[in-house]
Structure 1
Amino acid sequence: MSDSTPTRRPFHGSCHCGSVQYIIFLTLPHQPPPIATPPPTDSSRANQEFYRCNCTPCQKAGHFHIRLAWSPEDFMLLSPLDPMAQLGDYTCNDGRIHWLFCKKCAGRCFLFAGAGEMAEVDLDELGVQDKDGGKMGKRTIWRPKAEGWDEQRPSGCYLSVNGYTVDAGQEGFELGEFTANKWVGYVDCLELNGPERDPRYDKPYEGGAF
């Protein structure tokens, strides 16, 4: 990006067939959160995060984690509007997190746990344009419900967008740049390695991938 001032802006994402459509708001250029810093005491993560996890489900599903600063405002699902009923679902481990996927193309756009809601928003007022730069107007969207939402683990709230499903060709979003700039943390959650280790930014842990 030519401008080095961190700026919050929207990006479009979708599954391969386009049945799942969403908007996320990211602040770029990215500033990775400090390592070994006590978590904030309020419900905000304080930082967005990009990371790859080497645990078996994440590795086999090919999930590039984008954790948003405040999911109720930073994630808007345009379709479908009832994801828990209209998308395929897979849970593993404790069954708390839903690995939702498109029933047509099997694309996995996001993982979710918690409560959601439908809302009416004016996308033009939020600075969201369509892929051709046109207006999108007022729309009904689905989003995580702000009431009771807590971005901190191990709460019952969790949203992780698959960065591989953010649509290509959008100015300012290039995953190769994220890796080159060492914005991507590599997390060690592989059961064979023992206790989870703090993220590192130079290379993946054993069993992981760039």
Structure 2
Amino acid sequence: MTTETAPIRRPFRGSCHCGFTSYVLFLTLPHTPAPESAPVPGPEPFQAFSRCNCTICHKIGTLHVRVPFAPDDFFLLSPLDPLSDLGTYKRRPDGFNFLFCKNCGTRCFTFMGEGENVEVDLGELRVEGEEKGKKTKVWRPKREGWKEGRVNGCYLSVNGHSIEAGQEGFDIGMFADKDWVLYYDYRELHGEARPQRYGTPHEFGAY
């Protein structure tokens, strides 16, 4: 007989390979998958793990981690001016910033929108190793006017592979094992995009 652990929102640390990019991401685990028919993001914000078969995501091997409200769920500790200090690739001038470390090349997150520097008490937020009562300057998606979705110009996707391994409650292997990964068809090889689904990737997609 197994006992299911109650979902808990907790902070997880992530970084690029050389450590220049460093962040804290809040996830609620165990994860509750959204219905296949629900738009991401839906009318109600929710957490999502996904892969798509578009040529960019396929080549860079991104496991997209989307959070309910990025200004409260993602804090970049370094660098504090990512759009200047990280490298970026844009497929279109008005598209996503596929950001990467200029030193080691790791892609930690993809972003569209405005950011802001704020001070937060990471200890109060239960981030391991941080002193309660101490303010830390971080970069985050700008809270004012943030409405998740590419049509709104507000998008944050963290690469799940850049979250540090070995943190309690986080095991990237269980995402696929538990059918938590939602697969998208953005390559549209047969005309219109096919519906998103759990279980198996679309053509040319990866597990």
Bin for the TM-score computed over the shorter chain: over 0.9
Cross-structure match for 2:72: 73
- Asked if structure 2 preserves the Cα contact closer than 8 Å seen for 1:189 and 1:195, the reply is no
Partner SS state of residue 154, structure 1: helix
Q: Deviations over 1:135-166 (max 9, x none)?
A: 37321000000111111342100000000000
Shift in Å, 1:191: 3.8
> Does 1:172 find its partner at 2:165?
no
Cross-structure match for 1:11: 12
Cross-structure match for 2:23: 22
What is the letter of the counterpart of residue 195 of structure 1?
E
**Match for residue 201 of structure 1 among 185, 198, 202:** 198
- Asked if structure 2 preserves the Cα contact closer than 8 Å seen for 1:11 and 1:24, the reply is yes
Map 1:49-128; keep pairs closer than 5 Å: 49-93=48-92, 95-128=94-127
Partner SS state of residue 100, structure 1: strand
What is the letter of the counterpart of residue 135 of structure 1?
E
Cross-structure match for 1:156: 153
- Asked if structure 2 preserves the Cα contact closer than 8 Å seen for 1:110 and 1:160, the reply is yes
What are structure 2's unaligned runs of at least 5 residues? none
- Note the aligned Cα RMSD (angstroms): 1.8
TM-score, L = length of structure 2:
0.92
- Asked if structure 2 preserves the Cα contact closer than 8 Å seen for 1:4 and 1:29, the reply is yes
TM-score, L = length of structure 1:
0.91
User: How many Å separate the matches in 2 of 1:192 and 1:95?
Assistant: 24
User: How many Å separate the matches in 2 of 1:190 and 1:17?
Assistant: 32
Shift in Å, 1:186: 1.0
- Asked if structure 2 preserves the Cα contact closer than 8 Å seen for 1:9 and 1:25, the reply is yes
How many equivalent pairs are there?
A: 204
> Does 1:135 find its partner at 2:131?
yes
- Asked if structure 1 preserves the Cα contact closer than 8 Å seen for 2:112 and 2:150, the reply is no
Cross-structure match for 2:37: 36
Moved more, 198-207 or 13-22: 198-207
What are structure 1's unaligned runs of at least 5 residues? none
